[in-house]
Amino acid sequence: MPQMSETGMLAMVLICLAGFVLYSIVVILPCWIIAKRKNIAPRWWNWVIPLWNLYIAFRIGNGSLKNLFLSLVFFLAGIGAFALQEQAQFFAIAGIVLFVLSLVVGIYVAYNWLRNISILAGRHPMFLPMVMLVIPCVLALAGGALVSQGVISPMEVRGSENLISFVTWIIFMIIALRTPRNKQSEPDFILGKE
Protein backbone atom coordinates (compact mmCIF):
# COMPACT_ATOMS: atom_id res chain seq x y z
CA MET A 1 0.00 0.00 0.00
CA PRO A 2 1.53 3.36 -0.98
CA GLN A 3 2.34 5.96 1.65
CA MET A 4 0.35 9.20 1.74
CA SER A 5 2.34 12.41 1.43
CA GLU A 6 2.12 15.22 3.95
CA THR A 7 0.14 17.30 1.47
CA GLY A 8 -2.32 14.46 0.93
CA MET A 9 -2.68 13.96 4.67
CA LEU A 10 -3.28 17.68 5.19
CA ALA A 11 -5.86 17.71 2.38
CA MET A 12 -7.65 14.73 3.94
CA VAL A 13 -7.75 16.42 7.35
CA LEU A 14 -9.08 19.64 5.80
CA ILE A 15 -11.77 17.71 3.90
CA CYS A 16 -12.83 15.91 7.09
CA LEU A 17 -12.92 19.19 9.01
CA ALA A 18 -14.96 20.88 6.26
CA GLY A 19 -17.36 17.93 6.26
CA PHE A 20 -17.81 18.19 10.03
CA VAL A 21 -18.44 21.95 9.82
CA LEU A 22 -20.94 21.49 6.99
CA TYR A 23 -22.71 18.65 8.83
CA SER A 24 -23.05 20.72 12.01
CA ILE A 25 -24.48 23.64 10.01
CA VAL A 26 -26.99 21.43 8.17
CA VAL A 27 -28.13 19.76 11.39
CA ILE A 28 -28.95 23.05 13.13
CA LEU A 29 -30.28 24.81 10.02
CA PRO A 30 -33.97 24.41 11.06
CA CYS A 31 -33.18 25.96 14.47
CA TRP A 32 -31.47 28.89 12.75
CA ILE A 33 -34.48 29.41 10.49
CA ILE A 34 -36.88 29.35 13.46
CA ALA A 35 -34.66 31.80 15.36
CA LYS A 36 -34.44 34.13 12.35
CA ARG A 37 -38.21 34.08 11.85
CA LYS A 38 -38.80 34.76 15.55
CA ASN A 39 -36.19 37.54 15.47
CA ILE A 40 -34.07 35.98 18.23
CA ALA A 41 -31.13 34.68 16.19
CA PRO A 42 -27.62 35.69 17.26
CA ARG A 43 -25.10 36.86 14.68
CA TRP A 44 -24.27 34.59 11.74
CA TRP A 45 -20.87 33.43 13.00
CA ASN A 46 -22.54 31.75 16.00
CA TRP A 47 -24.16 29.31 13.58
CA VAL A 48 -21.05 28.26 11.63
CA ILE A 49 -18.63 27.38 14.46
CA PRO A 50 -18.93 23.62 15.11
CA LEU A 51 -20.14 22.59 18.59
CA TRP A 52 -20.81 26.24 19.45
CA ASN A 53 -23.67 26.18 16.95
CA LEU A 54 -25.09 23.11 18.68
CA TYR A 55 -24.91 24.99 21.99
CA ILE A 56 -26.70 27.99 20.45
CA ALA A 57 -29.43 25.73 19.03
CA PHE A 58 -29.75 24.10 22.45
CA ARG A 59 -30.12 27.50 24.13
CA ILE A 60 -32.67 28.68 21.52
CA GLY A 61 -34.91 25.86 22.77
CA ASN A 62 -34.17 26.82 26.39
CA GLY A 63 -32.43 23.49 26.96
CA SER A 64 -31.41 22.76 30.54
CA LEU A 65 -27.63 22.68 30.86
CA LYS A 66 -27.92 21.34 34.41
CA ASN A 67 -29.85 18.27 33.28
CA LEU A 68 -27.55 17.76 30.30
CA PHE A 69 -24.55 17.90 32.64
CA LEU A 70 -26.30 15.47 35.02
CA SER A 71 -26.82 13.03 32.15
CA LEU A 72 -23.13 13.33 31.24
CA VAL A 73 -22.09 12.73 34.86
CA PHE A 74 -24.24 9.59 35.06
CA PHE A 75 -22.77 8.37 31.77
CA LEU A 76 -19.16 8.94 32.87
CA ALA A 77 -19.85 7.35 36.27
CA GLY A 78 -21.31 4.35 34.43
CA ILE A 79 -18.14 4.04 32.36
CA GLY A 80 -16.09 4.19 35.56
CA ALA A 81 -18.27 1.51 37.18
CA PHE A 82 -17.88 -0.77 34.16
CA ALA A 83 -14.11 -0.27 34.29
CA LEU A 84 -14.19 -1.59 37.87
CA GLN A 85 -16.60 -4.46 37.22
CA GLU A 86 -13.84 -7.06 37.68
CA GLN A 87 -13.39 -5.88 41.27
CA ALA A 88 -16.93 -6.77 42.31
CA GLN A 89 -20.31 -7.63 40.80
CA PHE A 90 -21.71 -4.47 42.41
CA PHE A 91 -19.83 -2.29 39.91
CA ALA A 92 -21.41 -4.06 36.94
CA ILE A 93 -24.90 -3.53 38.36
CA ALA A 94 -24.09 0.07 39.31
CA GLY A 95 -22.80 0.69 35.77
CA ILE A 96 -26.05 -0.58 34.24
CA VAL A 97 -28.12 1.56 36.62
CA LEU A 98 -26.01 4.64 35.89
CA PHE A 99 -26.30 4.11 32.12
CA VAL A 100 -30.08 3.78 32.42
CA LEU A 101 -30.24 6.97 34.52
CA SER A 102 -28.10 8.76 31.94
CA LEU A 103 -30.42 7.60 29.16
CA VAL A 104 -33.56 8.65 31.05
CA VAL A 105 -32.21 12.11 31.87
CA GLY A 106 -30.94 12.52 28.28
CA ILE A 107 -34.35 11.61 26.85
CA TYR A 108 -35.98 14.07 29.26
CA VAL A 109 -33.60 16.83 28.12
CA ALA A 110 -34.26 16.06 24.44
CA TYR A 111 -38.02 15.93 25.01
CA ASN A 112 -38.09 19.32 26.77
CA TRP A 113 -35.86 20.90 24.12
CA LEU A 114 -38.03 19.60 21.28
CA ARG A 115 -41.19 20.70 23.12
CA ASN A 116 -39.80 24.23 23.53
CA ILE A 117 -38.71 24.39 19.88
CA SER A 118 -42.17 23.19 18.83
CA ILE A 119 -43.81 25.93 20.89
CA LEU A 120 -41.37 28.50 19.50
CA ALA A 121 -42.25 27.38 15.96
CA GLY A 122 -45.96 27.88 16.70
CA ARG A 123 -46.88 24.18 16.63
CA HIS A 124 -48.48 21.86 19.17
CA PRO A 125 -46.00 21.19 22.02
CA MET A 126 -46.06 17.44 21.38
CA PHE A 127 -45.54 17.59 17.60
CA LEU A 128 -41.73 17.72 17.37
CA PRO A 129 -41.15 15.38 20.35
CA MET A 130 -43.38 12.77 18.70
CA VAL A 131 -41.87 13.18 15.23
CA MET A 132 -38.22 13.47 16.24
CA LEU A 133 -37.99 11.42 19.45
CA VAL A 134 -40.82 9.00 20.13
CA ILE A 135 -41.50 7.61 16.65
CA PRO A 136 -37.80 7.09 15.73
CA CYS A 137 -37.15 5.39 19.10
CA VAL A 138 -40.12 3.05 18.66
CA LEU A 139 -39.05 2.23 15.10
CA ALA A 140 -35.47 1.58 16.28
CA LEU A 141 -36.72 -0.78 19.00
CA ALA A 142 -38.93 -2.57 16.46
CA GLY A 143 -35.96 -2.85 14.07
CA GLY A 144 -33.80 -4.29 16.84
CA ALA A 145 -36.48 -6.84 17.67
CA LEU A 146 -36.80 -7.84 14.01
CA VAL A 147 -33.01 -8.24 13.70
CA SER A 148 -32.87 -10.39 16.83
CA GLN A 149 -35.61 -12.62 15.37
CA GLY A 150 -33.71 -12.88 12.09
CA VAL A 151 -36.51 -11.34 10.02
CA ILE A 152 -34.33 -8.57 8.55
CA SER A 153 -30.59 -7.97 8.35
CA PRO A 154 -28.67 -5.32 10.31
CA MET A 155 -27.80 -3.56 7.02
CA GLU A 156 -31.50 -3.06 6.28
CA VAL A 157 -32.03 -1.61 9.74
CA ARG A 158 -29.06 0.75 9.29
CA GLY A 159 -30.43 1.93 5.95
CA SER A 160 -33.91 2.45 7.35
CA GLU A 161 -32.51 4.38 10.33
CA ASN A 162 -30.70 6.72 7.93
CA LEU A 163 -33.91 7.17 5.95
CA ILE A 164 -35.89 7.88 9.13
CA SER A 165 -33.29 10.45 10.24
CA PHE A 166 -33.48 12.17 6.85
CA VAL A 167 -37.30 12.22 6.87
CA THR A 168 -37.45 13.66 10.41
CA TRP A 169 -34.93 16.36 9.41
CA ILE A 170 -37.09 17.20 6.36
CA ILE A 171 -40.18 17.48 8.61
CA PHE A 172 -38.22 19.70 11.01
CA MET A 173 -37.14 21.88 8.07
CA ILE A 174 -40.73 22.19 6.83
CA ILE A 175 -41.86 23.22 10.34
CA ALA A 176 -39.03 25.78 10.45
CA LEU A 177 -39.94 27.24 7.06
CA ARG A 178 -43.60 27.52 8.07
CA THR A 179 -42.83 29.30 11.35
CA PRO A 180 -44.67 32.62 11.46
CA ARG A 181 -42.49 35.73 11.47
CA ASN A 182 -42.17 37.91 14.55
CA LYS A 183 -41.45 41.62 14.17
CA GLN A 184 -40.30 42.29 17.75
CA SER A 185 -36.81 41.35 18.82
CA GLU A 186 -35.90 39.61 22.07
CA PRO A 187 -32.13 40.17 22.41
CA ASP A 188 -31.71 38.41 25.77
CA PHE A 189 -33.60 35.27 24.78
CA ILE A 190 -30.63 32.94 24.31
CA LEU A 191 -28.63 33.71 27.40
CA GLY A 192 -31.77 34.24 29.47
CA LYS A 193 -33.12 31.72 31.90
CA GLU A 194 -31.61 28.41 32.93
Q: What is the pTM for the complete model shown? A: 0.80
Instruction: Name residues of the chain where pLDDT drops below 70.
Output: 1-2, 184-194
**Cα distances (angstroms) measured from residue 86 to each of 79, 81, 91, 101:** 13, 10, 8, 22
pLDDT in tens, 69-93: 999 999 999 998 888 888 878 888 8
How much is the pLDDT for 194? Answer: 47
* Alpha-carbon span 133 to 126, nearest angstrom: 10
How much is the pLDDT for 2? Answer: 64
How much is the pLDDT for 25? Answer: 84
Cβ 53 vs Cβ 25: under 8 Å: yes
How much is the pLDDT for 20? Answer: 84
How much is the pLDDT for 7? Answer: 83
